[in-house]
Amino acid sequence: MKVVVVGAGYAGTFAANRVAKKVRGAEVTVVNARPEFVERIRLHQRIAGTAAAATPLTSMLRAGVASRIGTVEKIGDGTVLLDDGESLGFDHLFLAVGSTVRPLAGTVPVGTWEGAERARTALAALPAGSTVTVVGGGPTGIETAAEVADARPGVRVRLIGSSVAACLSGGARQRALAALSRLGVEVVDDGVEEAADGVLRLRSGREVPSALTLWAIVEGVPELAARSGLDVDAEGRVVVDAYLRSVTDQRIFAVGDCAGVAGSRFGCQTAAPQARAAADALARLAEGREPEPYALRYVARCVSLGRKDAVAQFTHPDDSLKESYLKGGTAVAFKRIVYTGTKYGSRKAIGA
Ligand SMILES: Cc1cc2nc3c(=O)[nH]c(=O)nc-3n(C[C@H](O)[C@H](O)[C@H](O)COP(=O)(O)OP(=O)(O)OC[C@H]3O[C@@H](n4cnc5c(N)ncnc54)[C@H](O)[C@@H]3O)c2cc1C
């Protein structure tokens, strides 16, 4: 059985390794745009120079899993077409292309490897006293602002977003805002409408200077699924059945940020469980057994606040917030478990 996995982030790498282990006779090929496995949840650290956030992809794949560096342009009837003109045939496909960014002109996106590299270079070249603006009041914006402020104390950091840290419950939110303040981050409740010539025009009409503006909002998914004729939802995510198979073509599983599961959020905490569920569904189907449906089961949202602080906000399985959270050194340790566990979980497909 030929299995092609498109995208080697958390979901694709996990799925490839688990299929290779669990589906007898499967020939697995991973197609990824880059030769590295990018730890996307550490890109804010890459920018600030506190983590590499990239590992050779081949070191993340089980023996026997083939890798192919390239971009898939289109999915056809049992084939994928690559940007170099070659095509690969498949009996089953795992679509794991993640999510995208739509940065405002004049800003640098945090959520892609290429953007993070540009941001890292620009930040390193900034003299002390310069102002860095981070746009986005969600976890990515908070983590980026805190990381930059912690690593570059001579640089002024401003975080602009509407209802910053609203993704956390009352106590955890206060804790995060206090940590940002302690790190010297100016939090501005506003939006950025235009960025040009080192000046930002805000929704309120205010204008503020900014030597480097980082766009820390992740939204949308790659157009590959829609372009290939798969049914997609309003956000462009693949519409899937209970087993994470495309409702258009049951040979295709969608996992991670690009899968249209109601109530799911973009997150590595979505990616690995979905990859596990879909790979197991294929293993059971290959043995002529009934697959088990996928169910959302969230545990926490963990937000780093520089290198010495964090909050780990506990959630109900449907991702709604509990009041309870961890803070300080305990939350930092929790976060470390999240990023190491997610990376090595993808590599070994733990529990396989
Ligand atoms: C700074 C930052 C911090 C974050 N922190 C957290 C956190 O603490 N917790 C959490 O749960 N989530 C966090 N997230 C979100 C998390 O990173 C994503 O939800 C997660 O990476 C999704 O995993 P994925 O495997 O679906 O996609 P990705 O990790 O984005 O991987 C997709 C892969 O597909 C490849 N690809 C795309 N298109 C093609 C194509 N056409 N052909 C070939 N390859 C292709 C890409 O190059 C990439 O390697 C954070 C995000 C950012 C930016």
Q: Do 96 and 243 lie in a common domain? A: yes
Signed CA dihedral, 63, 64, 65, 70: sign only: positive
Which among 29, 41, 340 is the best mutation to test ligand 1's pocket, defined by most ligand atoms within 8 Å of the CB? 41
Q: Do 137 and 285 lie in a common domain? A: no
Say if residues 254 and 95 touch (Cβ distance below 8 Å). Answer: yes
> Across the strands, what pairs with 314?
300
> Across the strands, what pairs with 292?
none
Q: Do 183 and 243 lie in a common domain? A: no
Span between the terminal Cα atoms of the chain, in Å: 19
**What is the distance in A from the centroid of ligand 1 to the CA of 96?**
9
What CA–CA distance (Å, rounded) separates 209 from 198?
A: 6
| Boundary of a domain, candidates 293, 311, 343 | 293
Beta carbon of 96 within 6 Å of any ligand 1 atom: yes
Count how many domains the chain has.
2
**What is the distance in A from the centroid of ligand 1 to the CA of 247?**
23
Region of 292 on the Ramachandran plot (φ > 0 left; ψ -120 to 50 alpha; else beta) = beta
Classify residue 299: in a domain, yes or no.
no
Q: What is the dihedral of CA 317, 11, 13, 293, to 10 degrees?
A: 70
Beta carbon of 188 within 6 Å of any ligand 1 atom: no
Q: Do 21 and 72 lie in a common domain? A: yes
Q: Do 253 and 210 lie in a common domain? A: no
Q: What is the dihedral of CA 260, 262, 264, 265, to 10 degrees?
A: 70
| Boundary of a domain, candidates 201, 218, 235 | 218
Say if residues 225 and 64 touch (Cβ distance below 8 Å). Answer: no
Sequential DSSP letters for 220-281: ---THHHHTT--B-TTSPEEB-TTSBBSS-TTEEE-GGGEE-TT--SSHHHHHHHHHHHHHH
Beta carbon of 319 within 6 Å of any ligand 1 atom: no
Classify residue 340: in a domain, yes or no.
no
* 73's tokens: 């342009």
Residue 10, SS3 per DSSP: helix
Largest CA distance in the chain: 65
- CATH number of the domain within which 188 lies: 3.50.50.60
CA distances from residue 67 to 6, 64, 114, 156, 289 in whole angstroms, order as listed: 10, 10, 21, 43, 29
Residue type, 186: E
Q: Do 244 and 257 lie in a common domain? A: yes
Supply the range of the domain harboring residue 158.
108-218
Query: How many Cβ atoms sit within 10 Å of the Cβ of residue 295?
Result: 11
Beta carbon of 222 within 6 Å of any ligand 1 atom: yes
Classify residue 274: in a domain, yes or no.
yes
Say if residues 123 and 45 touch (Cβ distance below 8 Å). Answer: no
Residue 39, SS3 per DSSP: coil
**What is the distance in A from the centroid of ligand 1 to the CA of 208?**
31
pLDDT in tens, the chain (352 residues): 999 999 999 999 999 999 999 999 999 999 999 999 999 999 999 999 999 999 999 999 999 999 999 999 999 999 999 999 999 999 999 999 999 999 999 999 999 999 999 999 999 999 999 999 999 999 999 999 999 999 999 999 999 999 999 999 999 999 999 999 999 999 999 999 999 999 999 999 999 999 999 999 999 999 999 999 999 999 999 999 999 999 999 999 999 999 999 999 999 999 999 999 999 999 999 999 999 999 999 999 999 999 999 999 999 999 999 999 999 999 999 999 999 988 888 887 644 4
Classify residue 255: in a domain, yes or no.
yes
Classify residue 307: in a domain, yes or no.
no
Q: Specify the pLDDT at position 351.
A: 44
* 196's tokens: 């040009």
Q: DSSP class of residue 197?
A: T
- Which residue's CA is the nearest one to ligand 1's atom 35? 7
Q: Do 209 and 241 lie in a common domain? A: no
Beta carbon of 273 within 6 Å of any ligand 1 atom: no
Q: Do 204 and 231 lie in a common domain? A: no
Classify residue 344: in a domain, yes or no.
no
Q: Do 209 and 228 lie in a common domain? A: no
Classify residue 47: in a domain, yes or no.
yes
Q: Do 93 and 229 lie in a common domain? A: yes
Residue type, 51: A
Query: How many Cβ atoms sit within 10 Å of the Cβ of residue 166?
Result: 11
Classify residue 189: in a domain, yes or no.
yes
Q: Do 112 and 209 lie in a common domain? A: yes
From the CA of 9, give the closest atom in ligand 1. 31
Q: Do 250 and 165 lie in a common domain? A: no
Reported as half-sphere exposure (CB side, CA atoms, 13 A), residue 157 has a value of 27
